Amino acid sequence: MLKKTTRLTLVDQVILQIEALIESGKWPVGKKIPAEPELVAELNVSRNTLREGIKALCHAGVLYTKQGDGTYVCSSSTLGVAIQRRVQRSSLLDTLEVRHALELEAARLSAERRTEADIARFKYCQERCNYYAEADDIEQFVVFDIQLHQAIVESSGNRMLFDLYAHITEALQESNTAFLTKSFANHLPRDNHQDLIEAIIAQNPEEAGKAVQLLIDGLKSSVDELWPQHEAERS
């Protein structure tokens, strides 16, 4: 049975337009959005309609308003907010298992679809990881470690997969830094992605999947050995 189509209200249309501006990167996270008069003119809506749309996005966690200053972007999408909240309520082991599922499929697809430009990005990120590992700079190591995995996921060619992974890693960046600080107190790992990168370059999906399995298994072992049980099992 066919369902009746529903027409979007003006408030819904405003919300969609603002979300599109944010997701396109025109309004990046941390940016102050234009003043109300400018938005009213640009979106061709009333002040009340605009205010309702902004209020809804503030409630969703995408925007926030500073009294006497203006409204700022605090998340790239409502999906990102929802995933971040879910990650905060999940155990580290649960999150690693989700990462495993996403990275496993991404690595296999990347091995089939990667380009020469993708390979150059992988190698650059790996070189940066090694450089900061040598310097014992955990924060920068985490930045490029995440960029490397995101580059692999993006090279899969699956936009939905990339969006999901990007939001998860955004939510995990702080905990990744704390985890690596505790796991590798003496030295950061070097060339720990070498097998994965080589398998993708060789266009071998099976070996790429095995490399991801080894990486995640290593992280899980570190959680079991070094992370107190009550920290790993948040509800």
How confident is the model over 51-104, as pLDDT tens digits?
999 999 998 888 999 988 999 998 877 777 777 777 777 777 787 888 889 999
pLDDT tens per residue, range 130-170: 999 888 888 888 889 889 999 999 999 998 898 888 878 77
Domain ranges of the chain: 10-76, 80-232
Helix count (H) and strand count (E) of the chain?
11, 2
Closest CA to 134 of 183, 84, 191: 191
- CATH classification of 80-232, choosing from 1.20.120.530, 3.10.620.30, 3.40.190.10, 3.10.150.10? 1.20.120.530
Q: Does residue 201 contact residue 119 with C-beta atoms inside 8 Å?
A: yes
Q: If you count them, how many residues does the chain have?
A: 235
pLDDT tens per residue, range 184-209: 655 667 778 999 999 999 999 999 99
Distance CA 37, CA 43 (A): 10
Distance CA 200, CA 110 (A): 6
Q: Which two tokens stand for residue 188?
A: 């950061």
Q: How confident is residue 213, by pLDDT bands cut at 50, 70 and 90? A: very high
Distance CA 72, CA 11 (A): 19
Q: Cβ-count burial of 191 within 10 angstroms (0-12 exposed, 13-18 middle, 19+ buried)?
A: exposed
Partners of residue 64 on adjacent β-strands: 72
CATH code that applies to domain 10-76? 1.10.10.10
SS3 state of residue 32: strand
Establish whether domains 10-76 and 80-232 are of one fold: no
Distance CA 24, CA 45 (A): 21
SS3 state of residue 7: coil
Q: Does residue 152 contact residue 196 with C-beta atoms inside 8 Å?
A: yes
